[in-house]
Amino acid sequence: MTQVLPKPDITETSAPYWSALERGALMFQHCANCGQNQLPARHECTNCLGTDLGWVESEGRGTLVTWVDYHRAYDPAFKDQIPYNVAIVELEEGPRLVTNVMTTEPEALRIDQPVMFRPTKRFGQSITSFDPL
Ligand SMILES: [Zn+2]
């Protein structure tokens, strides 16, 4: 039986994020009213509640905020990827996102480690991942 990853819930609001990933770009929302940058996509700015939100492409640089290493697959789709991590990365532009840091040396990861965005495709789905620098 072929395992498939759980699919993201793509809405009208988040569609630009996912379509950008399909072409290898990481986008975030920018509020024209107060200047806040945010992820995940929302109908309104989490700072000023403004709704004049545009999309900006990230340069891809960020830092590792925290992470957890998985040594057990809680979803069968991940069993061939163990061990892997689920991480929170803060982009230089400000937004934070839940992602993976790709490494063969998980013990070498550290808080505030510089990381760089790398688009990844798994089972036909474009997702974010980051490489440690
Ligand atoms: Zn705002």
pLDDT in tens, 28-72: 999 999 999 999 999 999 999 999 999 999 999 999 999 999 999
User: Does residue 8 have a cis bond before it (omega within 30 degrees)?
Assistant: no
CA of 53 to the centre of ligand 1 (A): 8
Domains of the chain: 11-57 (no CATH), 59-133 (2.40.50.840)
Q: Tokens standing for 107?
A: 């013990």
User: Can you read off the two tokens belonging to residue 95?
Assistant: 């937004």
Distances (CA, A) of 53 to 14, 83, 93, 94, 95: 12, 38, 15, 15, 14
Q: What is the pLDDT of residue 3?
A: 62
Q: How far apart are CA 55 and CA 44, in angstroms?
A: 13
pLDDT of residue 124: 83
- Residues of the chain with pLDDT > 90, as a percent, come to 79
Q: Give the distance (Å) from ligand 1 centre to CA of residue 36.
A: 5
Q: What is the pLDDT of residue 2?
A: 56
- Mean pLDDT score across all residues of the chain: 93
User: Is residue 78 over pLDDT 70?
Assistant: yes
Checking if the pLDDT of 123 tops 60, the result is yes
pLDDT at 21 over 80: yes
Distance from residue 1's CA to the centre of ligand 1 (Å) = 47
Output the CA 120–ligand 1 centroid distance in Å.
Answer: 30
Q: Note the pLDDT of residue 125.
A: 86
Nearest to residue 59, comparing CAs of 126, 111, 130? Answer: 130
C-alpha 38 – ligand 1 centre gap (Å): 9
Ligand 1 center–CA 45 separation, angstroms: 5
